Amino acid sequence: MLPGLLRPRALKPGDLVVIAALSGPLPAEYRSNVEETVAVFERMGFRVRLSPLVEEGRRRWWSAGRPDEVAQELNTLLRDPSVRAVVALDGGQTVFGYLDLIDYDAVVADPKPILGYSDISLLHLALHARTGLVGFHGDMAVPGFGGHWRSLPDRASLSAVYLTLLTSPDPLGALPAGSAWECWRPGRVEGHLIGGVINRVALVQATPYGLPLDRFDGAILFWEELGGQASYVWSYLHVLRHSGILDRIAGMVVGVPQDIAGLDETPLRTIVLDVLGDRDIPVLGNVDIGHAGANLPMPVGVRAALDASDRKLALLEPAVRLH
């Protein structure tokens, strides 16, 4: 039986936020991104520290450590009552290696916000499937808070969105719409948010940590992708079609693609609509989620309203609770 929605406790001024290496390592050239991320959360009113694996030069292959080391780092933070939120250092290729080592009971005992995207979206999906935890698909230290945010003319307003989402027991309401948002298929629906980087959404369903298919019933599926070929995206979408997911969702939100070869010949909109076929669901494209720039937060499991016709997206429920 799928667990109900598990909201973390709302953050308070002075709470401890930890930047943790939950996947990739910290190259020396990105140290300034970490320092800037610390400053971002301190300006929000929180205390910040780094976890032990956030150390320049420390790496094992493409990761910050062996899967068991990364899992130990995460579990230590999950079990520590003084830690009130975890911000991922970066994405990468590690989370699949430790899904079976996570202390899921610790998540249930003391749910706390975990922020990140890319490989971290896999962590959100697994934790949501096993515990119902609301995962905060949003920026990380590298390059998000510490990189993309530096050039934002409206950084203060985006910071306010994150702060409200992390601290308020009231629904956030409308997310700030970008000028590049496009209606790819009109319509308006309400449903809970499920998603992440599309390759992780597809691949996790082949493991025991995927979501039961009925969890996609009436959902708004959000996704984005980095790298590879346009044909890969087409294939991942067909995996979701074959698995029955596309027949269950109520709407779709597609992030801005990044470094995907072949989209000049076959645009992403064309690919999406080709796979959807005659499924009458609204699709909003080019939304600010993913690798291409600063991210709007997308809380996994929280109910949202999608109006693709008017290019609007709003959060109808809070992502955190007071106690």
Report how far apart the first and last C-alpha atoms of the chain are (Å, whole number).
Answer: 25
CATH number of the domain at 213, please. Answer: 3.50.30.60
- pLDDT, tens digit only, all 323 positions of the chain: 557 999 999 999 999 999 999 999 999 899 999 999 999 999 999 999 999 999 988 889 999 999 999 999 999 999 999 999 999 999 999 999 999 999 999 999 999 999 999 999 999 999 999 999 999 999 999 999 998 998 888 889 999 999 999 999 999 999 999 999 999 999 999 999 999 999 999 999 999 999 999 999 999 999 999 999 999 999 999 999 999 999 999 999 999 999 999 999 999 999 999 999 999 999 999 999 999 999 999 999 999 999 999 999 999 999 999 97
pLDDT recorded at residue 158? 95
Distance CA 101, CA 103 (A): 7
**C-alpha distances in Å from residue 225, one per residue of 29, 121, 195, 306:** 24, 11, 11, 20
Q: Which residues contact 34 (CB under 8 A, 6 or more apart)?
A: 19, 26, 50, 54, 89, 141, 142, 146
* b (16+ CB within 10 A) / e for 53-92: bbeeeebeeebbbebebbbbbbbbbbeeeebbbbbbbbbb
Number of structural domains found in the chain? 2
β-sheet bridge partners, residue 185: 283
| Of the residues 109, 144, 167, the one at which a domain ends | 167
Rounded to two decimals, the pTM is 0.96
Let me know if residue 320 belongs to a domain.
no
CATH number of the domain at 82, please. Answer: 3.40.50.10740
Mean per-residue pLDDT of the chain? 96
Q: Which residues contact 132 (CB under 8 A, 6 or more apart)?
A: 2, 3, 4, 5, 6, 301
How many CB atoms within 10 Å of residue 146? Answer: 25
Let me know if residue 323 belongs to a domain.
no
| Contact of 36 with 149, CB cutoff 8 Å | yes
Distance CA 203, CA 226 (A): 15
* b (16+ CB within 10 A) / e for 116-127: bbbbbbbbbbbb
Q: Is 149 strand, coil or helix?
A: helix
| Of the residues 117, 150, 167, the one at which a domain ends | 167
Let me know if residue 70 belongs to a domain.
yes
pLDDT recorded at residue 248? 98
Let me know if residue 305 belongs to a domain.
yes
Region of residue 311 (phi > 0: left; psi between -120 and 50: alpha; otherwise: beta): left
**Which residues span the domain enclosing 190?**
173-315
| Of the residues 133, 167, 201, the one at which a domain ends | 167
Model confidence over 27-72: pLDDT tens digits?
Answer: 989 999 999 999 999 999 999 999 999 998 888 999 999 999 999 9
What is the identity of the amino acid at 176?
A: P
Q: What is the CA radius of gyration of the chain?
A: 18
